[in-house]
Amino acid sequence: MATLFEAAGLAEKAPRPLADRLRPSSLEEVVGQEHLLGEHGILSRMVKAGRLGSVIFWGPPGTGKTTVARLLAELTDLHFEQLSAIQSGVADLRKVFEGARARRELGRGTLLFVDEIHRFNRSQQDSFLPYMEDGTVILVGATTENPSFELNSALLSRASVLTFKRLDEDGLKSLLARAEAHEGRKLPLTDDARAALIAMADGDGRAVITLAEDVWLAEASGAKMPLDREGLVALVQRRAPIYDKSQDGHYSLISALHKSVRGSDPDASLYWLARMLAGGEDPLYIARRLVRMAVEDIGLADPNALVQANAAKEVYDFLGSPEGELALAQATIYLALAPKSNAAYTAFGAATRAADEGGSLSPPKHILNAPTKLMKQEGYGSGYAYDHNEDEAFSGQNYFPDGMKRQSFYAPTSFGYERELKDRLERFTKLRAERGKHK
């Protein structure tokens, strides 16, 4: 007996999402991954040779990882199996491996595509190894996280890591054009709104098509068209930045901020600071990194840089967000424009290596205190020159361990305040030589 929905003609399946309907049917249709799929790309060479090896696809969402895996299986006549590490467990893996082994005995191989493979724990990742080694499965793992941090070294040693790039503006434009050709109509957007839609997609091909579909659905429901930028933002809202503060995005963006400050570019520094704050990064983590930049990359070229960085941390502690974020921005600008020197950072590293290599050498006796009679008899403190009583408050005596050749760790630059320190160091070196105290 027909249901009410069937009688009303409503039992038809809902149409597949536009992004799924536009999924490429050949490698040539995949956008933005020419370095892998072009004439000399590694995947193209594998397909031509008819020999596909296990690979890890690393890249942001919506760049074609799943689609390429499916197409590779078709082109190499492999059975395609797909799992999501979020939804699958040991029982699912065992079932797939048993099926692949049975299939192999009948002469057909299996391409196992595992989405979000980094979600599997270490023991689950290890379970792939014997099946990869004996050819039971060709593993294609997909991850948005850095494989170096998230995947076992044993797994990585058996698979090539291939990087999928976020789509650039031209790639997103070509997908929009493909969507319009499929629908047989233009998107009802002003030029500004179209540019905004591409920016909102943030390099994600699936997202740009989904956003376009939202616009057409709004048009069908009677929304006023064409949409301008403000109308588009109100309709689809803004996509959150692709940034996971606990994973690889966290390290990538703080690296970008640090290197922009080191490179004395306040504008780029402010951009990366804003990106991190917009992505939900802990402002106090950023404050700690600013302090690190002050001592590592500026040092004594501008001692006030450390004061500024510490002050920004205190201001944020006091004011909180969003007012305290301005203090972080001010410190970022100051650090970016400060004279740069890593001389102190380098000197400490060299001194640490010398300490590690030198063992437990004792200080020379003349700079040791002698609180007991026995220690005085042993020569502790004998011959010590009190620098304040010396000409220019400098004795030039040796402070390194006996038997250790004098070392030179600190080499100040000629930038900022360190120029003055360099002059002082050169003067002391000259005095030491003149007074014959160098050992």
Q: Convert the pLDDT of each residue in 14-56 to its tens digit.
A: 678 999 999 999 999 999 999 999 989 999 999 999 889 999 9
For 324, the 3-state DSSP assignment is helix
Read off the pLDDT of each residue in 230-256 and give the average, rounded to a whole number. 72
**Distance (Å, rounded) from C-alpha 223 to C-alpha 75?**
44
For 84, the 3-state DSSP assignment is strand
For 98, the 3-state DSSP assignment is helix
DSSP 280-328: T--HHHHHHHHHHHIIIIIGGG-THHHHHHHHHHHHHHHH-TTHHHHHH
pLDDT of 238: 55
For 140, the 3-state DSSP assignment is strand
- Residue 7 binned pLDDT confidence (cut-offs 50, 70, 90): very low
- Residue 2 binned pLDDT confidence (cut-offs 50, 70, 90): very low
pLDDT at 245 over 60: no
Q: 383: phi > 0 → left, psi -120 to 50 → alpha, else beta; which?
A: left
pLDDT at 244 over 60: no
Nearest 5°: CA angle at 418, between 415 and 420?
Answer: 110
30 or 10, greater pLDDT: 30
Helices (H), 51-162: 65-75, 90-105, 122-126, 129-133, 147-150, 153-156
Cβ 125 vs Cβ 141: under 8 Å: no
Nearest 5°: CA angle at 176, between 172 and 178?
Answer: 115
The model's pLDDT over 39-49, given as tens digits with 9 standing for 90+, comes to: 899 999 999 99
The model's pLDDT over 61-114, given as tens digits with 9 standing for 90+, comes to: 999 999 999 999 999 999 999 999 999 988 999 999 999 999 999 999 999 999
Q: Rounded to whole angstroms, what are the CA distances from 436 to 224, 428, 429, 431, 432?
A: 90, 12, 11, 9, 6
**Distance (Å, rounded) from C-alpha 69 to C-alpha 409?**
54
pLDDT at 3 over 70: no
* Amino acid at the residue 358: G
pLDDT at 418 over 90: yes
**Distance (Å, rounded) from C-alpha 216 to C-alpha 18?**
11
Q: Among candidates 286, 298, 309, which has minimal Cα distance to 338?
A: 298
DSSP 274: H
Q: What percent of the chain has pLDDT over 70?
A: 93
Give helix then strand counts, H and E, for the chain. Answer: 22, 5
pLDDT at 133 over 80: yes
The model's pLDDT over 353-411, given as tens digits with 9 standing for 90+, comes to: 988 887 778 898 888 888 888 888 888 888 899 999 988 999 989 889 988 888 999 99
**Distance (Å, rounded) from C-alpha 397 to C-alpha 439?**
8
**Distance (Å, rounded) from C-alpha 297 to C-alpha 255?**
13
For 81, the 3-state DSSP assignment is strand
Residue 103, both tokens: 């299939």
Read off the pLDDT of each residue in 228-237 and give the average, rounded to a whole number. 87
For 106, the 3-state DSSP assignment is coil
* Amino acid at the residue 296: E
The model's pLDDT over 317-360, given as tens digits with 9 standing for 90+, comes to: 899 888 899 999 999 999 999 999 999 999 999 999 988 887 77
pLDDT at 439 over 60: no
Cβ 201 vs Cβ 211: under 8 Å: yes
pLDDT of 377: 83
Q: What b/e readout covers 76-107, taking b as 16+ CB neighbours within 10 angstroms? A: bebeebbbebeebeeeebeebbebbeebbeee
Peptide bond into 322 cis (omega under 30): yes
Q: What percent of the chain has pLDDT over 90?
A: 70
The model's pLDDT over 266-299, given as tens digits with 9 standing for 90+, comes to: 999 999 999 999 888 889 999 999 999 999 999 9
pLDDT of 422: 94
CB count in 10 Å sphere of residue 22: 21
